[in-house]
Amino acid sequence: MTANQPTFSAFHLPPEPTNTFMVDIETGGLAYGSAILEIAAAEFNPATGEILRSWSTHIDPLDSARHGLTHDQETAAFHRKNGYSLRPGIDLFRALNTLDTFLHLHREDITVWTWGLDFETLHFKAATAAINHPMPWKYWEGRCARTAWQLAFPGIKPPRRPHTAAEDVALQIADLCGALSRLQPA
C-alpha cells in the first residue's frame, strides 16, 4: 500500500453490521468552501462502543485547491500549533467515492454521527458541490454526537482531541457511547 492509498482496517461487513458510523474530518478552515484535508470513518456498535471497521485517508491539498476549496492562515496556524501537518493524499473525488462505498457497503439505510453535525455537513456540501458529487449521506441519516454529550453531561466539556480525524473518530465514539449510556432510562 502506498502513502496515497486510503487505509482500511477491514473493508468488509462485520459479523453483525450496525449501519451506525462516526465520521470526522480535518479541514483547511472553518468557512464554507474550506478544503477537507483528512477524512476518517468507523462503523461501531452504539450499545458497546466496539469499532467494527474503520477507514481513513488524507486528501491532496493541491487537488482541493484546483477545485476552488481554500485554506486559511488561522486554521493553518492552529494545525501547526497542535502538531498536525499536511500529508500527501488522494484526490477529492476518489476520497468521497471511497467514503460513500465504505458507508453504504451492501446497504443504503445508515446512521452517521459527527461531533457537530453542522460542521461536517457544511464542509462535505462544499466539497461535493466543488466536484459535482453526491453527499455521502442523506440529511435524515445525520446525528450530532456533541448534542448527545451536552444532554448527558450538561456544562461538562468533552476531553480534548488530538485533531487528527483517525484518532478523533475513536475518541468520539467512546464519548458518544458514554453519553448514550447515561441517557438510557434506569
Domain ranges of the chain: 7-183
130, 92 contact by CB (below 8 A): yes
**Does the 7-183 domain belong in CATH 3.30.420.10?**
yes
d(CA 51, CA 80): 29
3-state SS assignment for residue 78: helix
DSSP run (H or E) holding 180: helix 165-183
d(CA 59, CA 48): 31
Query: Which pLDDT belongs to residue 160?
Result: 86
135, 117 contact by CB (below 8 A): no
Mean pLDDT by 10 residues, the chain (186 residues): 46 62 93 94 94 94 93 86 82 96 86 92 95 94 95 93 91 96 84
- How far, in Å, are 23, 76, 100, 138 from residue 41 at the CA level? 4, 23, 10, 16
Q: How many CB atoms lie within 10 A of CB 101?
A: 12
